[in-house]
């Protein structure tokens, strides 16, 4: 009797019950629940009577106010906004670097190794430092601005400090993640050879992390520009203030002059930042949870050593601009420790002591928290979907000659493809340059106050940021699989579905969750202009000087921010 031939065993099918699938199910349920909550309690959504006003608004975009006197006003406002951003970024990067080192697990493992005597102290200090920095990070710069405005009055120091405090904590968090994910082999080699912890960090870790630290610093400057414009809403001056005044007085032509100034300023900084990073060999301005992958790419570590006059000139201008901006603003630092500030601070802190909330207050806070959370989820979902769609035509590697969807061997520029590329870039620039509170006021022309104006305002503003970041991911993609598909004759849809998305989808999702964390903070600023949620309650409490109630609302909002931060980090690490 002959033995039966061996039967090859098929590998077991992977289980569908993975953490990724679980998180995906939670996301779907969260979006559906948010849609349900947002639609509750609102009998009508669209205010048809405001359509005429909206038409006047868009019509004015064709005829902005170009009166020389008004252009002079907008020019000075542009310089003020730029100076706020430079000063705020300089302080936040300096303080954030110190905070990033102190909240880095690698630093404490270096100075207090777990195996050494007293090694338990390092993790304890590390956790305390992270907890300490979480509070200023959770509060939006607009709230900080309102707080300092009430004790310092109208002074440039209000805008600079309001940007520097939360941004320092944000920079510290991101810098610590970059430092913790940088390969530690050179650091360990120096430590084992007897180098001090400071010397080992200086020569073994920081040079590797430097490209990502510098790229993120340039991204933070772009964020500072947007925040400087937002602070104009509370009277801090600059372009945001002029735009807000024009909108309140329904001077739409002047309003569009301000928009164009803001768009030109943001676009110039964006182009300059991208050029500097590409010249220095840094390809990405923000890469989340992927620093180890990035650090292994040769073009992120290898700095070009060839002399570059334009690059040297740029560094020279940066070095010159920082002291000039501090001097030009005439910041009165002495206001921070004057007796008047001390007295007002004591009065506010006394009034801000929270009373035990009633059942009705707790119920109201819970309801508004659910609205705020729903607003952030829907805004992040809409901005993420739109950002992914626009990131393809906005990437240089898609439709332009030599791109993945361009006919092979064709070098002539197609008018349609070039127009689509430029329109996509312009759309993303306009949507991110105009602050979310201004978008909310525009949507309030045709929508009744509630959750949806806030959702759409946040979605449009974050769409511009996400689309630009995702387009950059597309441009930095390893194109070998895509070129192989292109050579085999794959259609454009197949190239995107099988060559691009499998490589980029993880980073797209990471960006969406990162912006969700930002969205929950920004719900406050759209709420301040009447878009609903906890922000609207804060506006009422600020108007009635109810500091005790404001403390309770702020505490609720901080807890909500911590919750979103924790969930987002868990999802991004999966």
Query: pLDDT (tens digit, 9 = 90+) per residue, 482-501?
Result: 888 888 888 888 888 888 88
Nearest in space to 231 (alpha carbons), one of 326, 132, 161: 161
Closest CA to 376 of 531, 193, 538, 571: 531
Number of Cα atoms under 13 Å in the Cβ half of residue 462: 31
506 and 447 in a single domain? The answer is yes
Distances (CA, A) of 110 to 87, 116, 297: 33, 11, 26
Distance of alpha carbon 207 from alpha carbon 104, whole angstroms: 16
Q: Give the pLDDT of residue 298.
A: 41
447 — phi, psi (to 5°)?
-120, 145
Query: Are the C-beta atoms of 162 and 148 separated by less than 8 Å?
Result: yes
Quick one: 515 and 400 in the same domain?
A: yes
Res 189 pLDDT > 60:
yes
Chain centroid to Cα 454, Å, comes to 17
Residue with more model confidence, 543 or 150: 150
Q: Is residue 251 part of a domain?
A: yes
What is the DSSP code (8-state) at residue 476? T
Q: Are residues 383 and 335 in the same domain?
A: no
Question: Secondary structure of the chain: what % helix, strand, coil (to 5)?
Answer: 75, 0, 25
What does the alpha-carbon distance between residue 134 and residue 136 come to, in Å, rounded to a whole number? Answer: 6
How high is the pLDDT of residue 295?
42
Confidence of residue 269 (pLDDT cuts 50, 70, 90): confident
What's 139's domain CATH number?
A: 1.10.3720.10
What's the distance, CA 396 to chain centroid?
A: 23
Q: What is the pLDDT of residues 225-246, one digit of tens each?
A: 888 888 877 777 888 888 888 8
Q: What is the mean pLDDT of residues 361-376?
A: 88
Mean pLDDT of 311-339: 87
Residues 270 and 416 in one domain: no
Question: Does residue 76 share a domain with residue 221?
Answer: yes
In terms of domains, do 278 and 332 share one? yes
Question: DSSP letter string over 497-564?
Answer: IIIIHHHHHHHHHHHHHHHHHHHHHHHHHHHHTT--SHHHHHHHHHHTT-HHHHHHHHHHHHHHHHHH
Residue 334: CA count within 13 A, CB half-sphere: 2
Based on the fold, state whether residues 80 and 218 are members of the same structural domain: yes
CA distance 548 to 358: 13
Beta carbons within 10 angstroms of residue 36's beta carbon: 10
Q: Percentage of residues in the chain with pLDDT exceeding 70?
A: 90
The pLDDT of residue 5 is 64
Instruction: Indicate whether 266 belongs to any domain.
Output: yes
Let me know if residue 34 belongs to a domain. Answer: no
The residues facing 46 across adjacent strands are: 447
Strands (E), 274-330: none
Sorting pLDDT into bands at 50, 70 and 90, what band is 287? low
The candidate with the shortest Cα–Cα distance to 214, out of 183, 182, 178, is 178
For residue 125, pLDDT beyond 90: no
Mapped onto helix, strand or coil, the DSSP state of residue 46 is: strand
This prediction has a pTM of 0.83
Specify if 497 maps to a domain.
Answer: yes
Distances in Å between the alpha carbon of 508 and those of 274, 385, 468, 511, 572?
19, 10, 11, 5, 10
User: Given this model, what pLDDT does residue 95 score?
Assistant: 93
Q: How far apart are CA 214 and CA 294, in angstroms?
A: 14
* Residue-number span of the structural domain to which 132 is assigned: 66-111+121-286+311-341
Identify the band that residue 335 occupies on the pLDDT scale cut at 50, 70 and 90.
Answer: confident
Using the structure block, give the residue that is written with the tokens 């060839």. Answer: 306
In this structure, is residue 361 part of a structural domain? no
256 lies in the same domain as 214: yes
- Is residue 442 over pLDDT 90? no
Q: Mean pLDDT over residues 527-546, rounded? A: 76
The better pLDDT of the pair 176, 399 is held by 176
- The confidence band for 72, taking pLDDT boundaries of 50, 70 and 90, is very high
Same-domain status, 450 and 385:
yes
Asked if 82 and 162 sit in the same domain, the reply is yes
- The confidence band for 288, taking pLDDT boundaries of 50, 70 and 90, is low
| 230 within some domain | yes
Same domain, 510 and 376: yes
pLDDT of residue 296: 43
**What is the average pLDDT across 125-140?**
82
Residue 14 pLDDT > 80: no
Query: Tokens in use for 173?
Result: 């968090």
| Number of domains composing the chain | 2
Report yes or no on 58 lying in a domain: no
Same domain, 469 and 418: yes
């Amino acid at each position: 009797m002959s033995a039966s031939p061996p039967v090859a065993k098929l590998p077991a099918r992977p289980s569908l019950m993975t953490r990724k699938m679980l998180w995906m199910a939670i996301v779907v349920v969260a979006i559906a629940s948010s849609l349900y909550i947002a639609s509750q309690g609102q009998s009508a959504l669209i205010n048809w009577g405001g359509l005429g006003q909206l038409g006047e608004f868009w019509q004015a975009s064709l005829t902005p106010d170009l009166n020389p006197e008004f252009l002079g006003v907008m020019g000075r406002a542009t310089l003020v906004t730029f100076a706020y951003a430079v000063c705020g970024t300089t302080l936040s990067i300096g303080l954030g670097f110190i905070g990033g080192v102190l909240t880095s697990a690698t630093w404490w493992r270096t100075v207090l190794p777990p195996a050494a005597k007293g090694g338990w102290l390092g993790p304890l200090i590390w956790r305390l430092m992270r907890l300490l920095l979480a509070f200023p990070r959770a509060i939006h710069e607009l709230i900080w601005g309102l707080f300092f405005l009430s004790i310092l009055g109208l002074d440039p120091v209000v805008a600079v400090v309001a940007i520097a405090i939360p941004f320092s904590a944000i920079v510290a968090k991101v810098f610590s993640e970059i430092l913790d994910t940088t390969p530690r082999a050179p650091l360990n080699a120096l430590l084992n050879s007897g180098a001090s912890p400071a010397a080992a960090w200086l020569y073994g870790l920081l040079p590797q992390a430097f490209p990502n630290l510098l790229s993120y610093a340039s991204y933070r400057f772009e964020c500072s520009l947007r925040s400087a414009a937002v602070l104009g809403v509370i009277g801090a001056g600059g372009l945001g203030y002029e735009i807000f005044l024009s909108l309140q007085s329904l001077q739409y032509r002047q309003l569009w002059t301000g928009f164009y100034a803001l768009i030109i300023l943001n676009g110039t900084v964006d182009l300059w930042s991208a050029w500097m990073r590409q010249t220095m060999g840094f390809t990405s301005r923000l890469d989340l949870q992927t620093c180890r992958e990035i650090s292994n790419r040769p073009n992120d570590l290898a700095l070009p050593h060839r002399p570059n006059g334009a690059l040297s000139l740029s560094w020279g201008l940066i070095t010159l601009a920082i002291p000039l901006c501090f001097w030009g603003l005439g910041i009165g630092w002495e206001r921070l420790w004057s007796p008047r500030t001390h007295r007002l601070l004591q009065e506010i802190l006394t009034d801000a002591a929270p009373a035990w909330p009633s059942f009705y207050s707790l119920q109201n806070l819970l309801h508004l928290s659910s609205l705020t959370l729903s607003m952030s989820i829907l805004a992040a979902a809409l901005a993420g979907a739109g950002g992914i769609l626009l990131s393809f035509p906005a990437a240089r590697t898609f439709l332009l000659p030599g791109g993945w969807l361009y006919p092979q061997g064709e070098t002539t520029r197609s008018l349609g493809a070039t127009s689509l590329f430029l329109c996509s870039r312009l759309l993303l620039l306009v949507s991110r340059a105009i602050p979310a509170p201004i978008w909310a006021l525009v949507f309030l022309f045709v929508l009744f106050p509630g959750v949806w104006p806030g959702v759409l305002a946040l979605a449009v503003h974050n769409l511009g940021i996400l689309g630009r970041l995702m387009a950059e991911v597309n441009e930095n993609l390893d194109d070998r699989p895509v070129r192989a598909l292109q050579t085999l004759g794959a259609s454009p849809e197949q190239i995107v579905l099988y060559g691009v998305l499998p490589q980029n989808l993880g980073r797209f999702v990471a960006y969406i969750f990162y912006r969700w964390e930002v969205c929950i903070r920004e719900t406050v600023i759209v709420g301040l202009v009447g878009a609903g949620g906890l922000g609207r309650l804060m506006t009422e409490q600020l108007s009635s000087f109810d500091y005790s109630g404001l403390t309770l609302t702020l505490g609720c909002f901080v807890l909500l921010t911590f919750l979103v931060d924790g969930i987002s980090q868990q999802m991004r690490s999966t």
